[in-house]
Amino acid sequence: MLFNVGISEDSLQSVISSCAVLQSISLHNMSFGRLCISSPTLRSIAFYPPRDEGVVAAFRELVIDDAPCLERLLPIYPDDGPVTIRVIRAPKLEVLGFLSQGIPRLHLGTTLFQRMIVVTMTTKMRALKILVLECAPNLDFVVDFLNEGRNTNIAGKYDQLDPIECLELHLKEVVLKNYCGGHRLYIDFAKFFLLNAKVLRKMEIGARYSYKSNCNIDDWTCYLRRQLQAENRASRDARVEVKVNKFTRHVRTHDLSVDDPFD
């Protein structure tokens, strides 16, 4: 981990590329005009940009030039920089997040997102297993992302005649944080995936619950399950787990033995 270290971009790039056994690196409170990373061994990279607004603007671009072993790319505070994230070659990338509309430009191969809106979708991330999106419960935004930018409008109802590959074949787990169970937008957001993801195995809801409310936790959990119409789920193997917790940015960036660093 490098924290608040004064080092030039060229020197840091040289150190990373020259370390023959380096597998994981975290950059804390460091800002660069352009940082280009090439490493034959690096498996995880996380960055925590400076939180001071005047400094963040200096971190203009992060480039993953050639990282054949890279499995995790973790921008922990996406709204604070860098302005552009460009992944040129990372064929084994499995974990990506947090992503938010605070990232002005994201290049994944030849695919381009501008504030997480798909501009061009020509590279498919077939190795990607875990995607963390930080957003309000905007269903059209998330489904458009999963549907390769085909401008799917599901505000009404999912069209089974125009299926979304991710929902039909790939999406196995959905985890929702800071879920507000009494708000219709949150209910509709969760229910959409539960009723339409054909191979879903688990939906975990990290919900906000007030112990000062009139109902107890068990009653409140039953209420959420009824609202989601869990009995009508598209995948009969899917289970719904409701937990009371709060969203945190704690990420196990260096523990490569765990499959999900956000868990």
Residue 209, number of CB atoms within 10 A of its CB: 19
Q: Which residues contact 235 (CB under 8 A, 6 or more apart)?
A: 197, 198, 199, 200, 201
pLDDT tens over the chain, length 263 residues: 777 777 888 999 999 999 999 999 998 887 788 999 999 999 999 988 776 655 444 678 999 999 999 999 999 998 887 889 999 999 999 999 999 988 999 999 999 999 888 888 887 788 999 999 988 788 888 887 787 666 666 655 777 778 889 999 999 999 999 888 778 889 999 999 999 999 999 999 987 765 545 567 777 778 888 889 989 999 999 999 988 777 788 899 899 999 999 98
Mode of pairing for the β-strands spanning 111-114 and 117-120: antiparallel
Q: Which of 100, 135, 170 is the last residue of a domain?
A: 135
Given this model, what pLDDT does residue 250 score?
Answer: 86
Angstrom distance (rounded) from CA 143 to CA 35: 31
123 and 199 assigned to the same domain: no
- Domain boundary among the residues 135, 157, 180 is at 135
Question: How much is the pLDDT for 212?
Answer: 47
Whether residues 59 and 131 share a domain: the answer is: yes
Query: What is residue 158's predicted lDDT score, i.e. its pLDDT?
Result: 79
What was the pLDDT predicted at 169? 94
Domain residues for the domain of 2 are 1-135
Cα-trace Rg, the chain: 20
Tell which of 101, 135, 169 closes a domain.
Answer: 135
Predicted pLDDT at 149:
66
Q: What pLDDT does residue 56 have?
A: 45
Report pTM: 0.88
The end-to-end CA distance of the chain, in Å, is: 21
Question: How many domains does one find in the chain?
Answer: 2
